[in-house]
Structure 1
Amino acid sequence: MKRAFDLLLGLALLVPLTLPLLLVALAVRLTSRGPVLYWSDRVGRDNRIFRMPKFRSMRIDTPTVATHLLHDPTRWMTPIGSLLRTSSLDELPQLWSILRGDMSFVGPRPALYNQDDLVRLRTEAGVQRLLPGLTGWAQVNGRDELPIAQKVALDAWYLQHRSFALDLRILALTAWKVLKRDGVSH
């Protein structure tokens, strides 16, 4: 049922999101050098690596590490990068990953391929069995502000309590947090 929901919602969102996707792509292209999309190697279900697209919010010479590990992340932002991140517009291309089946709308956020500490803790907790999500229980309970151990604990809680009703609650909370720009570091 979860996959069917992801496909139906993903396809339903394609039409209303087409114009915003095109406008953001144009804005990225006009304000910085390099490609519109950044394809990030991410850890998916069962710790398999997949390529996840995002609108590029960082310069093309940015080191490949989690943003919180960069010294002065704002130094690496494109002119519209901060706006893309705080509004979560940079996440829109992940609809592609959802339609492909690499991601779900709800699940633990996919770790970067080099976030060994996060991957190890999630594996120890059994969270690697879940399809990663555009949003998740950890995102609505702190997002970028949470330490890794707390994110994993929230991901493990979701693993034990997941349901369609909980997914709908997480989606509603996500919409609220995005509108408030709550819990976003940059």
Structure 2
Amino acid sequence: MNRALDLAGAGIAAVVLAPVIAATAVFVRCTMGAPVLFRQERTGLHGRPFTFVKFRTMRPPAAPGFDPGSDAGRLTPAGRFLRATSLDELPALWNVLRGDMSLVGPRPLPSAYLGRYTEREAHRHDVRPGITGLAQVLGRNNLTWEQKFAHDLHYVRHRTLRMDLRILATTVRTVLRRDGVTAIGSATNHELRAPTAGRQT
């Protein structure tokens, strides 16, 4: 999406949704305590790292009584609600305003995954990552990594303003229907592994 449209869209959304963002911050603070925001280094345009922000949905890894390696154990009931409604994503509007992200583009993934892409898959970083994208409206976390990357690369090669606007419109429907919030057999999303025979360069 054009950078000017990103700034305008994110700016308007931030102003209009300011009461929702504030209420969500209070909700997180009251149900899960501090910190309210989750920060993680993710990979952006041309492979450059940036700090991605969203509302926290999980207990800290060291929380007593929970498996530190289990997303299912760490994800709180409040966190499930935030993920189901996509309210946890609202702080990422700040990333768009900063220029780290676009409203539409491939989903930004942790920088720890940087060495796990095939040469072909790495082209997903030829554009800014997005809050929403083609993979998010065509299955979200119900897709395999191969399917997600195929949608990401299709977007990179064929993106147009018309496509971006259609993705944004479809995102509203996807969020309202709560489609694909969790991966099958996982509370969140499956970890990306190093390339296998099914993911050739």
TM-score in same-fold range (> 0.5)? yes
Q: Which residue of 2 aligns with 1:81?
A: 79
Task: Tell me if 1:111 matches 2:106.
Answer: no
**Greater helix fraction, Structure 1 or Structure 2:** 1
Q: Which residue of 2 aligns with 1:183?
A: 180
Supply the distance in 2 between the matched residues of 1:107 and 1:86 (Cα, whole angstroms): 20
Question: 1:52-76, CA deviations, whole angstroms, 9 ceiling, x for partnerless residues?
Answer: 110000112279xxxxxx64x3310
Distance 1:152 1:97, change over 3 A: same
Larger Rg: 2
Residue 33 of structure 1 and its aligned partner are, at CA, apart by: 3.0
Local SS of the residue matching 1:54: strand
Q: In the TM superposition, what are the counterparts of 1:45-124 in structure 2 within 5 Å? A: 45-61=45-61, 71=70, 73-116=71-114, 120-121=117-118, 124=121
Question: 1:59-95, CA deviations, whole angstroms, 9 ceiling, x for partnerless residues?
Answer: 12279xxxxxx64x33101341000001000000000
Task: Tell me if 1:158 matches 2:155.
Answer: yes
Identity among equivalent positions (%) equals 44
For residue 160 of structure 2, what is the amino acid of its counterpart?
Answer: S
TM-score, L = length of structure 1: 0.89
Residue 16 of structure 1 and its aligned partner are, at CA, apart by: 1.4
TM-score, L = length of structure 2: 0.83
Distance 1:62 1:56, change over 3 A: farther
How many equivalent residue pairs?
178
Structure 1 range deviating more: 122-131 or 143-152: 122-131
Supply the distance in 1 between the matched residues of 2:134 and 2:172 (Cα, whole angstroms): 13
Local SS of the residue matching 1:121: coil
Q: Which runs of at least 4 in structure 1 moved beyond 4 Å after TM superposition? A: 122-125
For residue 52 of structure 2, what is the amino acid of its counterpart?
Answer: M
Supply the distance in 2 between the matched residues of 1:21 and 1:96 (Cα, whole angstroms): 12
Supply the distance in 1 between the matched residues of 2:11 and 2:106 (Cα, whole angstroms): 22
In structure 1, list runs of 5 or more residues that go unmatched.
64-69
Supply the distance in 2 between the matched residues of 1:124 and 1:176 (Cα, whole angstroms): 28
1:167 to 164, 167, 173: 164
Supply the distance in 2 between the matched residues of 1:95 and 1:4 (Cα, whole angstroms): 14
CA RMSD of aligned residues (A): 1.9
Local SS of the residue matching 2:167: helix
In structure 2, list runs of 5 or more residues that go unmatched.
64-68, 188-201
Question: 1:36-61, CA deviations, whole angstroms, 9 ceiling, x for partnerless residues?
Answer: 00111111011111001100001122
Task: Tell me if 1:140 matches 2:137.
Answer: yes
